[in-house]
Amino acid sequence: MSGNAVYRPDANEALLTLVNVYKTFPVRASFFSAEEVRVRAVDGVSLSLQPGKTLGLVGESGCGKSTMGKLAIRLLDPDSGTIRFEGKDMARLAGEELRGMRRRMQIIFQDPYSSLNPRMKVQDIVGEGWFVHGLARGRELRDKAALLLERVGLTAEARNKYPHEFSGGQRQRIGIARAIALSPRLIVADEPVSALDVSVQAQILNLLKGLQEEYGMAYLFVSHDLRVIRHVSDHVAVMYSGKVMELGPSEELFSRPSHPYTRSLLSAAPMLGGAPAEHIVLSGDIPSPVAPPPGCRFHTRCFRARKFCSECSPLLREVAPGRFAACHFV
């Protein structure tokens, strides 16, 4: 076991820091029982995100990455832990102060169909933030909406239409326009291209990159797609069963993964730079988030697991400068 420093998010320059964040959801144990059990969606996660950078959150479905995204901009409240945005403790914000803060953090959703109100015109969808914050109304709102829609690759005429008149990719552009309308500092992109055709995915990813260069906002980019994460991220956090398994700069993490879980993930994605160096096939399923295994969450499927992996939970420790992994063996 290494005795290196445990990961501590750097709060000084960071735009967003999460320290020991926990989030559980109540579920009924079974249809007939009144007993309530709790799904541990996010189980002690610490992360930080620098202004203007992209942090990729990758993991299997159900690992808690989307919950992380919603926690980060306080669409959900954590059970415990601290979330700081621009140095402010998000949990302390309420009422008008929180509403004001919402201008600085936005979200792009996975499903371009359910994310747009079918009964609203596009100009009212993208201009909602301007309207509710009293920044633009009436003609001014319409003019600004036209410019914004052109910026995301749609025509100005799109503003008078309704969402159902657009394709999935176009609808995602509308969702992006809404997210950037208030010039936020942080955008949570929750699987923004997963529902799109591969050809459209590239267009949307390039649009997101272009917007980041132009406006300098940070992305918390949630995806299960390793290629997408590699393409957009500066840093990557690999999540498994509610915990961060590995964290580090994108290129290094992808070229030399250290955690067994990351290595098995990458070996399952051969399109990354030709043939994979190793071929690891995991057996079993992702553990139940209701009753996660003791010790290391990954030990039930890990090819390096030893007995004490099921007894002692590894901390996220520095394994190389700037690189962290939660494993006893690296």
Partner 1 sequence: MSGQSMFADTLRRLSRNPLAVAGAVVILFFLVMALFPKCFSEHDPNRINILRILDPPSARHLLGTDDLGRDVLARMVYGARISLSVGFVAESIAIGIGLIVGLLAGYYGGRADAVLMRFVDIMLCFPSFFLILSVVAFIGPSIWNIMIIIGITGWMGVARLVRAETLSLKERDFVVAARAQGAGAARIMFRHILPNTLAPILVAATLGVAGAILVESSLSFLGIGVQPPTPSWGNILTAGKDNIEFAWWLSLFPGLAIFVTVLGYNLLGEGIRDAVDPRLKGR
Q: Which is nearer to partner 1, 178 or 297 (CB)?
A: 178
Amino acid sitting at position 50: Q
> Would residue 134 be called left, alpha or beta, if left means φ above 0 and alpha means ψ between -120 and 50 degrees?
left
Cβ distance to partner 1 smaller for residue 127 or 257? 127
Residue 52 contacts residue 217 (beta carbons within 8 Å): yes
Q: In the complex, what is the shortest distance from the CB of residue 121 to partner 1, in angstroms, rounded to a whole number?
A: 7
Of 166 and 324, nearer to partner 1 (C-beta) is 166
CB 82 within 8 A of CB 91: yes
DSSP 43-80: EEEEEEE-TT-EEEEE--TTSSHHHHHHHHTTSS--SE
Cβ closer to partner 1: 4 or 183?
A: 183
CB of 73 to partner 1, least distance (A): 6
- Output the smallest distance, CB 63 to partner 1, in A: 20
Under 8 Å between Cβ of 47 and 81: no
* Burial profile 151-190: b = 16 or more Cβ within 10 angstroms, e = fewer: bbbbeeebbebebeebeebbbbbbbbbbbbbbebbbbbbb
d(CA 258, CA 236): 13
Among 66, 76, 74, residue whose Cα is nearest residue 189: 66
Please identify, using beta-carbon distances, which residue of 116 and 237 lies nearer to partner 1.
Answer: 116
Q: Closer to partner 1 by CB, 116 or 286: give it.
A: 116
Q: Which is nearer to partner 1, 37 or 75 (CB)?
A: 75
> Which amino acid, 253?
L
State the Cα–Cα distance between residues 14 and 11, nearest whole angstrom. Answer: 5
**Nearest approach, Cβ of residue 181 and partner 1 (Å):** 8
Q: Given the rule CB under 8 A, which residues bind partner 1? A: 70, 73, 75, 99-100, 102-103, 105-107, 109-111, 114-121, 125, 128-129, 132-133, 161-162, 164-165, 175, 178, 182
